[in-house]
């Protein structure tokens, strides 16, 4: 499932005895976000065989800054994965190991802010936060509330379009889990995927993302942060 081990700090957060390269950020890959994303390799066309979730993720990745790092091989891997994702979602009963494998490949492609931080890829924060795609009316009520709460949370300031598409995918799978009472392994995989998009304070601290104290942020945790924590607690009761 998700990546393990301590995550590196951003250069401005480093204190104490650290290497000059790390303090200066020389071991970071920094990606500037401009008006347009310039790709080194041309992305293959979207396949008509994919489902709507796969199309949303693929098109969102093309609009995300990290895709400017992609070689042709990265696009080929992502393109192939979208067939697998579509196949996975066609299953009447979801398979947790299959979902975990999809999560691993998506993280290898730096789809989420959590995976980028662990790989020491630093994207500039966008001047205007990315707009989330509309949620689904078919989601479970808790998925709808979590998604709405994420929109209000400060961590969303770091989201690229691909992060939102990833979270959209997770909400669909969370709904499926709630409606079918699937396995504990599925439960664990979904929570690992929520961690990839920095949904809880514990994950944010592990990844050295400091959203600030009440004094620093003129009010402390946002209503969105509180809603995320509330509904994650409710989710774990089931």
Each residue of 8-23: pLDDT tens digit?
A: 555 555 555 555 554 5
The pLDDT mean for the chain works out to: 84
- pLDDT tens digits for 62-113? 999 999 999 999 999 999 999 999 999 999 889 999 999 999 999 999 999 9
**Which DSSP helix (H) or strand (E) runs through 202?**
helix 201-206
pLDDT at 200 over 90: no
Q: Which of 78, 7, 11 is nearest to 39 (CA)?
A: 78
Q: Which residue has the higher pLDDT, 52 or 225?
A: 52
Both structure tokens of 65: 């800054």
Q: What is the model's pLDDT at position 201?
A: 86
**For residues 53 and 168, is the Cβ–Cβ distance under 8 A?**
yes
Q: How far is CA 64 from CA 68, 112, 156, 178, in A?
A: 8, 10, 14, 30
User: If you ran DSSP here, which 8-state letter would residue 85 be given?
Assistant: H
C-alpha–C-alpha distance, residues 143 and 138, integer Å: 10
User: In which band, very low, low, confident or very high, does the pLDDT at 139 lie, cut at 50, 70 and 90?
Assistant: very high
Structure-derived torsion over alpha carbons of residues 225, 230, 236, 238, reported in degrees to the nearest 10: -140
pLDDT of residue 36: 78
CB atoms within 10 A of CB 229: 17
Average of per-residue pLDDT across 123-144: 94
Instruction: Give the mean pLDDT of 188-207.
Output: 91
Query: What average pLDDT does range 145-170 have in this prediction?
Result: 95
What predicted TM-score, i.e. pTM, was given to this entire model?
Answer: 0.80
């Amino acid at each position: 499932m998700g990546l393990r081990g301590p995550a590196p700090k951003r250069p401005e957060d480093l204190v104490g005895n650290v290497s000059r390269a790390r303090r200066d950020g020389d071991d970071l890959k920094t990606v500037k976000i401009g008006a347009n994303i310039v790709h080194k390799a041309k992305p293959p066309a979207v396949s008509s065989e994919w489902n709507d979730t796969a199309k949303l993720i693929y098109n969102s990745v093309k609009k995300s800054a990290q895709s400017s790092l992609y070689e042709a091989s990265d696009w080929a891997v992502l393109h192939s994965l979208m067939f697998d994702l579509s196949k996975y979602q066609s299953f009447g009963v979801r398979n947790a190991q299959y979902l975990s494998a999809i999560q691993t490949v998506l993280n290898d492609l730096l789809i989420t802010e959590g995976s980028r931080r662990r790989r020491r890829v630093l994207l500039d924060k966008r001047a205007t936060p990315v707009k989330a795609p509309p949620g689904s009316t078919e989601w479970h009520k808790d998925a709808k509330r979590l998604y709405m709460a994420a929109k209000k949370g400060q961590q969303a300031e770091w989201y690229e379009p691909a992060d939102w598409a990833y979270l959209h995918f997770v909400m669909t799978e969370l709904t499926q889990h709630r409606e079918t009472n699937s396995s504990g392994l599925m439960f664990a995989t979904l929570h690992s995927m929520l961690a990839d998009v920095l949904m809880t304070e514990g994950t944010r601290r592990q990844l050295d993302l400091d959203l600030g104290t009440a004094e620093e942020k003129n009010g402390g945790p946002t209503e969105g942060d509180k809603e995320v924590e509330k509904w994650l607690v409710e989710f774990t009761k089931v």
